[in-house]
Amino acid sequence: MKKLFKPASLLFNFLCLLVFFIVGMYFAGWIEAGKNQGLAGGAIVVGWGVLFAGIAFVASFFLTYHVRHSRIVAGNGVLFVVLLLGYGITHYRFMQRNELQEEKNRPFKESPTTPAKTTEPTGMHTFKELLYEIQFPTQKNINNLL
């Protein structure tokens, strides 16, 4: 019983909890447990992580009780390396996804173009405007025509 409360054994239990939480979440991603689940997808993936962590945490107590102390210390080293590796991979994937989102959110830079030539403005005329444009025959207009 004293063996369970040694610092190396407690660290082994804690590292098992963390490492297998990450392993469980990666496993859930690998089998696509949360795919097409909407907002519940994240909870499903975390649930897989908690399931793996819980099983490994209970198993770690049996291991610390039955395994020699030197092997527990070596196991702590292995679990710590696996924990750092899992963190590194997760951080790298996050940075790659973040760069893609920043690239998508950049404003589109338009190249300067020369304006196209336009024709005379056209539009709908009102009856009042048409009335002013029509020239009614007057004596002056008739004399100019002749």
Q: What domain range includes position 30?
A: 2-105
Question: Is residue 65 a part of any domain in this protein?
Answer: yes
Number of domains in the chain: 1
Please choose, from the candidates 86, 88, 19, the residue with its C-alpha nearest in 3D space to the C-alpha of residue 53. Answer: 19
Query: How far are the Cα atoms of 9, 41, 51, 87, 131 from residue 20, in angstroms, in the given order?
Result: 16, 19, 9, 12, 87
The pLDDT tens digits of the residues spanning 33-79 come to 989 998 999 999 999 999 999 999 999 999 999 999 999 999 999 99
Classify residue 36: in a domain, yes or no: yes
Contact predicate 34/44, CB 8 Å: yes
List Cβ neighbours of 12 (8 Å cut-off, separation of 6 or more): 60, 63, 64, 72, 75, 76, 79
| Verdict on whether the full-model pTM lies above 0.85 | no
Domain for residue 39, yes or no?
Answer: yes
